[in-house]
C-alpha cells in the first residue's frame, strides 16, 4: 500500500519562514523513521568564549575540542555564501547553539534554524542566539525549534523549503536521518555529517557498521581513516537510492571522542561508475593493503601468498575509495582562514588550522589509495629503526611514488608504494 503525505497535514503555525520551492522533488520520504540526539554527558554551566563569541553551554553536551570541526563548518558556510549570495542553515542537533551562533556571525548566514530535540535547552539556545537580532517574517534571521531531527527535515521538505547547508552533529553511528537530510537540502547544497563510533570504524562491531552504513568493517591498522570512508560510503549509498551523488569536500578525524566529520556536496544524478565505491583489503602477514572493485571480489589475494584464499587477508566494505578531500576547495578554505587570521593557533595534540588544511591538500592527491603506513609499524615489521618522515617522503618521491602526510596520525604516511618496497626504501635511507 502506497502512503502519500500532503503538506496540508502539517501545522500551519510552523516557525520557519516559508520560501518558494527551488528543487523539483521526488515522492515524500517515509516519516516513520525519526531521530533525536540524547545528551550522554552533562556539564556544569559557565560562560565560554569561542573565536571571540561568548556563550553559555548550560547543561547541554559540549566539547571545547570540537571547536576545530566548527571552524571547518563555518569556513565552508562562508565560502558557500560568497559564491551563491545566500545561506540558509539547519543546525539539526544544535545543543547549546554555538554552531548556530557562529554560522550567523562568522558565515553571515541569512537564516539559521537551530533545532534540538530537548526542549529543556530552549532558554540556553535562545539566550545565546539573542546576541543577533531575531527579525520577523521574511527578515527573520533565526528560529529555535524542538523536534526530532528527522521531523524538522521532513517538515521543510513537505512544504518545498530547502536549506543550503545542513549540519548534523549526531552521536554514535546513527544514520537514520540521511535520507531526510538529502530531501531537505538544495541541489548543490552542503551536508555536514558526523559519526563518533570508533568501535565500528575499528572493525570491532562489523554488524553495527553494516546496519548503519552498509559496510562490513574488519580490524585494520588505519581504522580511523576507514571510519571517514565508511561514513562517506553510507551517504553515497543513500544518495544513489534517491537519484543523487555526493562528493566529499573535506573529511576530518579528531582523536577526542573520536569524532569523524565529512562535508559533502550533493548533486543530481547517479555516478556513471562505481570506481570510488568498493572494498579495502589488508594483509596482516605482510602489511600490504589494496582496493577491490565489485567485479574483483572473487579474485582477491595478496602478493605474499600463493593462494587467493589467504587467511591473513581481511576485507572491509563497501566504502568510499576516492580522495577524502577536494584539494582546490580546501585551498580556498585555507586562504579564507588566513584572511580571517585563524592560522597558527593549535596547541598540544591538536594540529593548528593552517597545518591541518595543508595536510588535507596533500591528502587530496587522487593517486593515493585508502590507508596509511605508520612508521613504527614498518620499523617493527622490518626490525629496524625508521627514518624521519621528511627523509622518507623525499625518498618515495624520488622513486616515483605519490606520498603525503596523514592528518589522522602524526607518524603516518599515505602512499601508493607497496609495503615491501616501502621497507626496502626505508632500509636504504637508514644505510645512506
Cell digits of residue 233? 560510503
- Specify the pLDDT at position 273: 67
Residue keyed to cell 557562529: 102
The pLDDT profile of the chain, 432 residues, written as one tens digit per residue, is 444 443 333 444 456 654 544 444 444 444 333 344 444 444 456 789 999 999 999 988 888 889 999 999 999 999 999 999 999 999 999 999 999 999 999 999 999 999 999 999 999 999 999 999 999 988 999 999 999 999 999 999 999 999 999 999 988 888 899 999 999 999 999 999 999 999 999 999 999 999 999 999 999 999 999 999 999 999 999 999 999 999 999 999 999 889 999 999 999 987 666 779 999 999 988 998 999 988 888 788 888 876 555 778 999 999 999 999 999 999 999 999 999 999 876 555 456 899 999 999 999 999 999 999 999 989 998 899 989 999 999 999 999 999 999 999 999 999 999 999 999 999 999 887
φ, ψ at 415 (rounded to 5°) = -160, 160
CB 158 within 8 A of CB 4: no
Would you call 333 helix, strand, or coil by DSSP?
A: helix
- Measured in whole angstroms, the distance separating CA 123 from the mean position of its chain's CA atoms is 29
Residue 66 half-sphere exposure, CB side, CA atoms within 13 Å? Answer: 20
CB 360 within 8 A of CB 368: no
- Specify the pLDDT at position 10: 40
- Specify the pLDDT at position 43: 44
Cell digits of residue 388? 624521519
pTM of full prediction above 0.85? yes
Cell digits of residue 59? 547543561
Put the strands of the sheet holding 185-195 in their side by side order: 142-145, 111-115, 88-91, 163-167, 185-195, 259-268, 244-254
- Specify the pLDDT at position 345: 61
In the 8-state DSSP scheme, what is residue 431?
H
Q: How far apart are CA 65 and CA 67, in angstroms?
A: 5
Q: Is 66 exposed, middle or buried (0-12, 13-18, 19+ CB in 10 A)?
A: buried
Of 344, 254, 197, the closest CA to residue 73 belongs to 254
Could you tell me the domains of the chain?
48-273 (3.40.50.150), 327-431 (3.30.56.70)
Amino acid at each position: 500500500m502506497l502512503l502519500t503525505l500532503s503538506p496540508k497535514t502539517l501545522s500551519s503555525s510552523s516557525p520557519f519562514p516559508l520560501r518558494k520551492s527551488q528543487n523539483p522533488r521526488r515522492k515524500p520520504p517515509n516519516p516513520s523513521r525519526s531521530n533525536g540526539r540524547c545528551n550522554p554527558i552533562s556539564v556544569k554551566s559557565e560562560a565560554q568564549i569561542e573565536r571571540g563569541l561568548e556563550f553559555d553551554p548550560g547543561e547541554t553536551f559540549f566539547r571545547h575540542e570540537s571547536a576545530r570541526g566548527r571552524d571547518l563548518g563555518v569556513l565552508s558556510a562562508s565560502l558557500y555564501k560568497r559564491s551563491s549570495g545566500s545561506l540558509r542553515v539547519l543546525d539539526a542537533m544544535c545543543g547549546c547553539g554555538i554552531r548556530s551562533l557562529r554560522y550567523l556571525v562568522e558565515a553571515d548566514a541569512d537564516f539559521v534554524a537551530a533545532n534540538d530535540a530537548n526542549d529543556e535547552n530552549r532558554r540556553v539556545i535562545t539566550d545565546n542566539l539573542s546576541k543577533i537580532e531575531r527579525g520577523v517574517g521574511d527578515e527573520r534571521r533565526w528560529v529555535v525549534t524542538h523536534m526530532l531531527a528527522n521531523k524538522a527535515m521532513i517538515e521543510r521538505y513537505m512544504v518545498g523549503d530547502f536549506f543550503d547547508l545542513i549540519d548534523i552533529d549526531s552521536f554514535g553511528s546513527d544514520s537514520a536521518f540521511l535520507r531526510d537530510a538529502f530531501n531537505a537540502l538544495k541541489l548543490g547544497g552542503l551536508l555536514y555529517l558526523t559519526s563518533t563510533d570508533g568501535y565500528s570504524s575499528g572493525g570491532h562491531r562489523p554488524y553495527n557498521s553494516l546496519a548503519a552504513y552498509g559496510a562490513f568493517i574488519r580490524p585494520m591498522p588505519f581504522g580511523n581513516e576507514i571510519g571517514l570512508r565508511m561514513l562517506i560510503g553510507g551517504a553515497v549509498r543513500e544518495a544513489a537510492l534517491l537519484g543523487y551523488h555526493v562528493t566529499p569536500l573535506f573529511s576530518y578525524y579528531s582523536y577526542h571522542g573520536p569524532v569523524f566529520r565529512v562535508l559533502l556536496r550533493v548533486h543530481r544524478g547517479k555516478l556513471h561508475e562505481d570506481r570510488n565505491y568498493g572494498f579495502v583489503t589488508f594483509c596482516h602477514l605482510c602489511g600490504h593493503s589494496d582496493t577491490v572493485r565489485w567485479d574483483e571480489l572473487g579474485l582477491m589475494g595478496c602478493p605474499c601468498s600463493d593462494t587467493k584464499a589467504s587467511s591473513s587477508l581481511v576485507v572491509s566494505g563497501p566504502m568510499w575509495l576516492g580522495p577524502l578531500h577536494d584539494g582546490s576547495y580546501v585551498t580556498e578554505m585555507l586562504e579564507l582562514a588566513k584572511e580571517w587570521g585563524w592560522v597558527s593557533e593549535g596547541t598540544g595534540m591538536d594540529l593548528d588550522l593552517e597545518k591541518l588544511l595543508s595536510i588535507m591538500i596533500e591528502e587530496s592527491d587522487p593517486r593515493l589509495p585508502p590507508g596509511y603506513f605508520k612508521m613504527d609499524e614498518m620499523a617493527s615489521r622490518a626490525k629496524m629503526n625508521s627514518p624521519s618522515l621528511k627523509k622518507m617522503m623525499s625518498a618515495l618521491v624520488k622513486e616515483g611514488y605519490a606520498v603525503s602526510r596523514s592528518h589522522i596520525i602524526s607518524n603516518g604516511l599515505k602512499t601508493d608504494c607497496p609495503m615491501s618496497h616501502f621497507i626496502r626504501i626505508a632500509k636504504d635511507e637508514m644505510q645512506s
